[in-house]
A and B are shown apart, each in its own frame.
Chain A
Amino acid sequence: MESVAKQKLLALNGDEAVAYAAKQSDVDVAAAYPVTPQTIIVERFSEYVANGEVDTEFVCVESEHSAMTACITASATGARTFTATAAPGLALMHEMLYVASGCRAPVVMTVVNRALSAPINIHCDHSDSMSERDSGWIQIYAENSQEAYDSMIQAFRIAENPEILLPVMVCLDGFTLSHALENVHVLSDDIAKKFVGTRQFPRVTAHEGKDASFRLDPENPISIGPIAFPNYYFEIKRQQEEAMKNAPKIIQQVHEEYAQISGRHYGNGLLDAYCLEDAEIAIICLGSTAGTVKTVVNELRAEGVKAGLLRIRSFRPLPVEGIVKALEKVRAVAVMDRSLSFGGHGGPVFHEVHHALYDTPVHPYIVNYIYGLGGRDTSPSHIRKIYEDLQGILQTQRVEDPVRYVRLRG
């Protein structure tokens, strides 16, 4: 843990922590557009550029659609690329998110989670990134600003790994993390830069069967983003799924390697369990809510209640086996969703956890809580109520209403 001592402790909000990580990651091209609440990321990064603290070409584009576009083509040209966005911006990028993963452009993007319009609302929920869960991007959700910083540094290594070569979204909760000041341990520039390394390019077959590196290089021209008809499209999409399947192993490796230099672990990098080994009742959630849940778990444990938490860090790819294993001994589970899948049965995290368990012998009572939409605060008392509900379910041995809403009027 030699390098742990070398870390500085800085007071940063989530946005600043992300910008700091981007500064240390030898980003070649950043293209971004100001959308609250991620705007601070772009502002801080612009300052780094203005002060010569980074060697980055910063493109201040005219829209989020162009931000993602410029990142894709810069990435294809050989640059390490970074951008940041939030709800409406992410929605505007939607088309290009699929293009990024389809072109196998390892773009790293911070999503500062926030509600989608209408009504317009700048505060936190997960509607934005959950709407993009099928876009072929890896999605990592951070619990706090420290993890947002750490995840950013790891993200470039994951995205650019030739076995993956997929874009990565690092998600952090709007305002709750993005605008809240926190003590954040940061690596020295040298160590961070060394960890991230320089981008490696896989070899591909180019014109006339020539061997070329996978980038736009006039010496070995390749065409990227062609039209593929029914005779080829399907295989290309299947390859993306194969890359996704390679991702859990690499995410864990990078996470472990990072832990060696930072001293910080987040479970196994995919799932982060808290007091779950002997838990009878558990909550599953993403993001900053986990911090609140841990507080309540501590209180309940002091009272002798066997409560636990499973935080999903990697939602894409979803560590299905890990979830099943983690819930083996749990008798009642509450899945918390900070977004709605209108007309579906509960929220997306609930769907996926439920589905993961179906073909297994692991069948705890399971209930869904939709919470915190549009930034509605969820305090320890609300979390405690959920655990009490789970205790009630164990008593009655039945789930009356599987989809519930936290702190909602009438």
Chain B
Amino acid sequence: MFSEWKFTAKDIAEKADLFMSGHRACAGCAAATVMRLVLKAVRGPIIATSATGCMEVVSSIYPYTSWATPWIHTAFENVAANASGIEAALKILKKKGRIKQQRIDVIAFAGDGGTYDIGIQALSGAVERGHDFLYVLYDNEAYMNTGIQRSGGTPHGASTTTSPAGTVIPGKVQYKKPIADIMVAHDMPYVATASPHYWRDLITKARKGIEVDGPAFLHTFAPCPRGWRSDPSKSIEISRIAVETCIFPLWEAINGEYQLSAPSKVIALRPERKKPVREYLKMQGRFRHLFTPKFEKIIDEIQQLTDKRWQRLLKKCGIV
């Protein structure tokens, strides 16, 4: 199903960037790192497409572009339909002999707003139709480009501009939608989660998503210093602690079969390594209000929820 592609850090460093420097992403933006890492995984020519959002805006301010590969953006809610059209065109143009390349892979990028919320219809439809493309979700857990409004990917308790921590309501009341599980329920061939701290894991999964026949979904974790009110120098550290606390466990589901990835498997095998969520929350200003006597019990709730979801994942992976 997958090639035996092996790579060293040097290979990756030397491989040409398709998402080039000079883009306008904020200092410490992990989404930009995710973009760059994913595009290091390509096996040949690609066409990329983006939903409206941070990574689209920072990379394509006319007349400049950061894309050293053909790229198209159309709107917010439809990147999976963008990919559908590209893939359908490539298929028929190749059949008719109107394109030279043997194979051109299609990669779609969208944030959490363009995936969890407004983009889920197009995504679900494209996956049902079985288009051969990799969908990369860079999840910075709110509408960051628009001004830090809450999305279906914003976690419980986070303060955003539309779920502000007030004197009565402690940030977002609802819970984060389990988007990757929803994609697994589409019975698609490849779904995985990845965090930029574990760059080798992320690149490997992106490559698998590219190689697999049919649709693949890669849920990447993308700390956002502006929206998370975190230190821009800590984004990669936060993306590690998110895994260590099991807030964002790493796994893949190949043809619906869940398996933990190494960084999370270590925790499953040695539960004493699992860090309390408090360590993750305390690094981010969006959770600052939880560290007050009035709202402190919400930290316990988040811990319980994290544990519950972790146990559920372990069960799916056949551990426990």
Contacts and interface: CB of A to CB of B under 8 A. Distances in A.
Interface in A65-112: 65-66, 69-79, 81, 95-96, 99, 103
B81 A69 contact: yes
Contacts of B74: 69, 72-73, 96, 99, 103, 225
Interface in A224-256: 224-229, 232, 236
B121 A226 contact: no
Interface in A23-69: 28-29, 31, 55-57, 59-63, 65-66, 69
A402 B179 CA distance: 57
A73 B68 CA distance: 18
Given A62-B125, A70-B84, A226-B62, A77 B75 contact: no
A221 B89 contact: no
A218 B70 contact: yes
A66 B81 contact: yes
Contacts of A223: 60, 65, 67, 70-72
B244 interface: no
Interface in A196-219: 207, 216-219
Nearest to B50: A225
Interface string B59-98: 0111101011111111101101111111011111101101
A224 B85 contact: no
A232 B56 contact: no
Contacts of A219: 45, 100-101
Interface residues of A, number: 45
Contacts of B75: 69, 95-96, 99
Contacts, number: 165
Nearest to B84: A70
Contact of B92 (A79, A221, A227, A228): A79
Binding site of A, secondary structure by majority: helix, strand, loop or mixed? mixed
Contact of A227 (B60, B98, B129): B60
Nearest to B80: A66
Interface centre among B83, B84, B91, B99 (most CB of A within 10 A): B84
Nearest to A232: B62
A226 B89 contact: no
B4 to A, nearest CB: 25
Given A61-B81, A221-B68, A226-B62, A66 B122 contact: yes
Given A62-B122, A216-B47, A69 B70 contact: no
A218 B46 contact: yes
A351 B170 CA distance: 54
Given A99-B74, A207-B68, A55 B61 contact: no
Interface residues of B, number: 49
Contact of A59 (B90, B93, B129): B129
A229 B93 CA distance: 34
Contacts of B77: 65
Given A62-B122, A74-B85, A218-B101, A229 B62 contact: yes
A59 B85 contact: yes
Contacts of A81: 85, 89
A231 to B, nearest CB: 9
Nearest to A226: B60
A81 B85 CA distance: 10
Contacts of A236: 62
Contacts of B62: 226-229, 232, 236
A56 B90 CA distance: 12
A243 B127 CA distance: 37
B121 A62 contact: yes
B33 interface: no
B130 to A, nearest CB: 11
A59 B88 contact: yes
B47 A218 contact: yes
A167 B124 CA distance: 27
Contacts of B95: 55
A62 B124 CA distance: 9
B61 A57 contact: no
B86 A61 contact: no
Interface string B127-147: 011000000000000000000
Contacts of B298: none
A353 interface: no
A157 B121 CA distance: 34
Contacts of A61: 81, 84, 125, 129
Contact of A55 (B49, B90, B96): B96
Given A69-B75, A77-B47, A77-B93, 15 more contacts: A28-B89, A29-B89, A57-B88, A61-B84, A62-B124, A62-B125, A63-B122, A63-B125, A65-B78, A66-B84, A73-B74, A77-B90, A81-B89, A219-B45, A228-B61
Top 5 nearest A-B pairs (CB, nearest first) are A62-B125, A70-B85, A218-B45, A73-B85, A226-B60
19 contacts: A29-B88, A29-B92, A31-B84, A60-B129, A61-B81, A61-B129, A66-B125, A66-B126, A69-B75, A69-B84, A70-B88, A74-B89, A96-B78, A99-B75, A216-B86, A218-B47, A223-B71, A226-B73, A227-B60
